[in-house]
Structure 1
């Protein structure tokens, strides 16, 4: 009886963590996109930094969400994918911010 309950609890926890991380990753990438658009309207005129800081975090978030959902459907541990996408989005945005300045 306990062997059936443990995988179900772990599965629910992974599902909740993955969905929360997908939502947070997409939300953070949208915020990073709009901040990089402010670079375009401001005094910074560096197209590479705007593309790196704006579009690449969105691409990472979408890719992390899709791969996370596929991993959930295959009953694998899925929270790593949106977490990795979130970290990569922030790192790329920080590199773009360094280029823009």
Structure 2
């Protein structure tokens, strides 16, 4: 415990940032997100989904949290939702453009 420690003396264990560790993190993330897809869950950070995640993707979630830094976990979960919304917006715009072309 450091004199000016802000973590209450707790040493949080973070995986080392090596190429092999990043690869393991990405593989764990992909497995977790595949499980979420199968369970039809988009937002893993939404508290409403926590029970469903625990029942469908408990092992994958534990591996993901074990193999990735907490800041990466938050980033990946947020990015998943943002990417989905972005794809939906692009599809909508493309459909609207096709519709306008047909109407001309």
When the two structures are superposed, what TM-score results if normalisation uses the length of structure 1? 0.33
TM-score, length basis structure 2: 0.32
* Higher relative helix content: 1
Q: From the CA coordinates, give the structure whose radius of gyration is larger.
A: 2
